[in-house]
Structure 1
Amino acid sequence: MVLTRAVPVTALGENLAGLWQGLLREESGIAPLTHFDCGNYLSGLGGAIAGLQAPPGGSRLDPLLERVAVQLGPLPVGCRLLVASTKGEIDRLETVGRQRTLFPRGVLFEPLLAKIARRFDLADPGSNINAACASSSIALARGAAQIAAGQAEAVLIYSADILSEFVFSGFSALQALSPEPSRPFDRQRQGLTLGEAGVALLLMSEACARTAGETVLAYVAGWGVANDAHHVTAPARDGSGLIRASRLALCKAALAAEQIAAINAHGTGTVYNDAMELTAFGEIFGDSLPPMHGVKGSLGHCLGAAGGVEIAIAARALQEQTIPATCGCLDPEEATRGRVMNSSQSISGDYLLCTNSGFGGINSAVILQRGAQ
């Protein structure tokens, strides 16, 4: 199966070309937040999308959906829908909570799915994959599996989460927010910075893509999902879940670890998650860790949408044979020296590993293969 369209809207760019150029210029979309008061929280920073205002009675997800949809264009007849969002229209819930009014049906996921399906003109009502910060990549894995099994010819993965005070306060209470922009894989990292994004990824069978005249951005070569069953919020220190997910993806793709040209890591900038990832990659790759990067120091952590944005970036990275800088990583951990850089790196090869890890011990891995040149 192939990835034929990728439309991310983030704090650093309104499309893939703009996002890619911003990353290559080593820019950051992280800035002081203005749409709610951060005075009581550990941080006042976030990767907010400019001009994203909720319509009366609506959510900030509404204009975000519109920005993505107008770029995506018409979809194939019979296209299936998978949504990946951890909190949906959480800003509407905040409003009614403060006003002590009736709980609006619209904050539930079923109406949100119907709204998304209508905007993309899809007959399939879809389903939401809520797997914490691995939601997008697990949705992509599920879509790829549906195509591989002959259950679909095309699947749209739409991922979106917004910055909300509800989520922000939760991460602050967990002592997970950094007072400065996050610094993935840096020795002095202090925590994560939250962000927001919407992204659409269109998967198709090769035959369907060929018939439709679609451009192949990348092939989905393999995927894996695993749960370490360790803790509600903390990752397993031994990286067991991520190791298993990555090895499942390698097995599915029929690849050896040394064939991976680069890694797009989850890289939250928290002390324990980054350490867990490095432990897992050390077990998988040994002394042959390939070039690696993370984008959350540029965009913030976009929760359920994070993996979708990173898969879009990974497809472009394979095309360009370049991975962007890991913004904020000024003093990299010893295990990453020469592999994680604060500047762009050239890579050489056809396969890139994308990983995501989330609360509840969930881990996912997707391997993309470079499209025909």
Structure 2
Amino acid sequence: MSRVVISRIATVTALGDGLDQLWQRLLHGDSGISPLSRFSCENYISRYAACIEALQTSKDASLQDSILARVATQMPDIPGDSRLLVASTKGEIDRLTATCRRGDALPESVLFEPFAAKVARYFGLSATGCNINAACASSTIAVARAAAMIASGEVESVLVYAADLVSEFVFSGFSALQALSDEPCRPFDQRRKGLTLGEAGIALLLMSESCAHRRGELPQAYVVGWGVANDAHHVTAPARDGCGLILAIQQALKKAEIKTSQVAAINAHGTGTIYNDAMELTAFNAVFGESLPPLHGVKGSLGHCLGAAGGVEIAIASRSLQQQLIPGTVGCLDAEAAGQGQLSSIPQKISGDYLLSSNSGFGGINATVILQGVAS
């Protein structure tokens, strides 16, 4: 089995471009959540979102083009024969919305296959790959799939690209579900009211260790474990007992061949909704018990970036292992009882080689990835 390396990372979020800037602003406790101006929120239960600054569009281009260009600039000259896995729940949803409002026929360009082909062109890849649409666990599953392909020897290099937009279509849907908070979200706080939407673009280049060494790529982290499970409970609500997430974590621990006591920290999904946060804490306590490590969530800073959420959080997790530090959970001022002592609104020091990142989504989907740090 080939050891799997994350060799390069590129990010564009509401806290700026690049992982260095993102990391520093997370440590400062900054938040990209602000009142929305992209469309009117008059008919919705919230007016907040975490949008990327200075996105540009035109009649022939989507906001996704602007994100893609900014991500690709950070990651030039990747191997042209790398496989591509795109992770997005809605793709170029802004073009779809505009087309529907005009009453025009839907252009082929709003489908996922052309979107994946566009990503391939931006990065100079010979194959267009495919899009993984697995709700809010999309990019976590994409990383897991990429790692499995490399570990098995099927390929040597995989580019995972994930991006989703704050659109009125999605915003109105979450508003109708009463899932949005009327204030910036407060993950794991006892007085949490719901989630805040965000947007992001993320690229992760995964390689076999031998390929990375041959190409002179410096490992950022190793992907050593992954797990995916479905609780088959409800279309939008998680199983209260966390059974799906528990199974996904157990799979990841088994794959990584480590004990719960070896996990130094957890990057949780932490949407700020009442039931998701409670489910996660239930699952974490069930698996880790007295060895529950420090945990945090970043959606109080970045909003919920849908299919891109897991990819951004895995990028942050790699830096956490390097720095032996996890950012604070912005908005968590009075932690849920099941997480007290492990959650903090300020950065926490950690000690260890492994970090678990988890995401859960509509349809009962749960996914986890375990990263191992790079020895100094």
The normalised TM-score by structure 1 is 0.99
**2:181 matches 1:181:** no
Match of 1:172?
175
Q: Give 1:124 shift.
A: 1.2
**1: CA distance between counterparts of 2:173 and 2:327?**
30
Match of 1:39?
42
Which runs of at least 4 in structure 1 moved beyond 4 Å after TM superposition? none
- Name the stretch that deviates more: 22-31 or 74-83: 74-83
Match of 1:300?
303
Match of 2:124?
121
For the 8 Å contact 2:14–2:50, the answer to whether it is kept is: yes
**1: CA distance between counterparts of 2:79 and 2:124?**
10
**In the alignment, which of 55, 59, 68 is matched to residue 56 of structure 1?**
59
**2: CA distance between counterparts of 1:76 and 1:125?**
14
**2: CA distance between counterparts of 1:154 and 1:111?**
22
**2: CA distance between counterparts of 1:78 and 1:56?**
32
**In the alignment, which of 135, 140, 143 is matched to residue 146 of structure 2?**
143
**2: CA distance between counterparts of 1:35 and 1:227?**
34
Match of 1:366?
369
Q: Give 1:97 shift.
A: 1.1
Q: Give 1:163 shift.
A: 0.5
Match of 1:267?
270
For the 8 Å contact 1:216–1:372, the answer to whether it is kept is: no
**2: CA distance between counterparts of 1:74 and 1:240?**
42
**2: CA distance between counterparts of 1:66 and 1:55?**
14
**2: CA distance between counterparts of 1:221 and 1:52?**
35
**2: CA distance between counterparts of 1:354 and 1:219?**
13
For the 8 Å contact 2:47–2:182, the answer to whether it is kept is: yes
Q: Give 1:56 shift.
A: 2.1
**In the alignment, which of 222, 231, 255 is matched to residue 252 of structure 1?**
255
**1: CA distance between counterparts of 2:291 and 2:191?**
25
**1: CA distance between counterparts of 2:149 and 2:58?**
36
- Name the stretch that deviates more: 283-292 or 348-357: 283-292
Match of 2:286?
283
Match of 1:214?
217
**1: CA distance between counterparts of 2:171 and 2:60?**
22
Q: Give 1:346 shift.
A: 0.3
Three-state SS of the structure 2 residue aligned to 1:137 is helix
For the 8 Å contact 2:84–2:127, the answer to whether it is kept is: yes
Please give the residue correspondences for 1:5-16 in structure 2 after superposition, counting only pairs within 5 Å.
5-16=8-19
Match of 2:321?
318
Unaligned stretches of 5+ residues in structure 1: none
Match of 1:233?
236
For the 8 Å contact 2:295–2:343, the answer to whether it is kept is: yes
**1: CA distance between counterparts of 2:80 and 2:60?**
32
**2: CA distance between counterparts of 1:55 and 1:370?**
42
**2: CA distance between counterparts of 1:332 and 1:268?**
14
Three-state SS of the structure 2 residue aligned to 1:18 is helix
**In the alignment, which of 90, 96, 101 is matched to residue 93 of structure 1?**
96
**1: CA distance between counterparts of 2:49 and 2:281?**
25
**2:153 matches 1:159:** no
Residue by residue, what CA displacement relative to the aligned partner does 1:221-250 show, whole Å, maximum 9, x if unpaired? 100000000100000001000000000000
Q: Give 1:287 shift.
A: 2.1
For the 8 Å contact 1:292–1:340, the answer to whether it is kept is: yes
Unaligned stretches of 5+ residues in structure 2: none
1:9 alignment partner AA: V
For the 8 Å contact 2:16–2:53, the answer to whether it is kept is: no
Q: Give 1:335 shift.
A: 1.4
**2: CA distance between counterparts of 1:312 and 1:50?**
20
Q: Give 1:372 shift.
A: 2.2
Match of 1:19?
22
Residue by residue, what CA displacement relative to the aligned partner does 1:10-47 show, whole Å, maximum 9, x if unpaired? 00121100000000000000001101111110111000
**2:111 matches 1:108:** yes
Please give the residue correspondences for 1:193-208 in structure 2 after superposition, counting only pairs within 5 Å.
193-208=196-211
For the 8 Å contact 2:263–2:355, the answer to whether it is kept is: yes
**2:226 matches 1:243:** no
Match of 2:331?
328
Residue by residue, what CA displacement relative to the aligned partner does 1:151-186 show, whole Å, maximum 9, x if unpaired? 110000000000000000000000000001110000
- Name the stretch that deviates more: 363-372 or 55-64: 55-64
Q: Give 1:288 shift.
A: 2.0
For the 8 Å contact 1:30–1:46, the answer to whether it is kept is: yes
Q: Give 1:125 shift.
A: 1.2
Q: How many residues align?
A: 373
Q: Give 1:54 shift.
A: 1.4
For the 8 Å contact 1:85–1:130, the answer to whether it is kept is: yes
2:27 alignment partner AA: L
**1: CA distance between counterparts of 2:79 and 2:371?**
22
**1: CA distance between counterparts of 2:114 and 2:79?**
23
**2: CA distance between counterparts of 1:226 and 1:287?**
24
Three-state SS of the structure 1 residue aligned to 2:97 is helix
**1: CA distance between counterparts of 2:96 and 2:114?**
14
Q: Give 1:149 shift.
A: 1.0
Q: Give 1:57 shift.
A: 2.5
2:269 alignment partner AA: H
1:137 alignment partner AA: T
**2: CA distance between counterparts of 1:275 and 1:302?**
20
Match of 1:342?
345
Three-state SS of the structure 1 residue aligned to 2:264 is strand
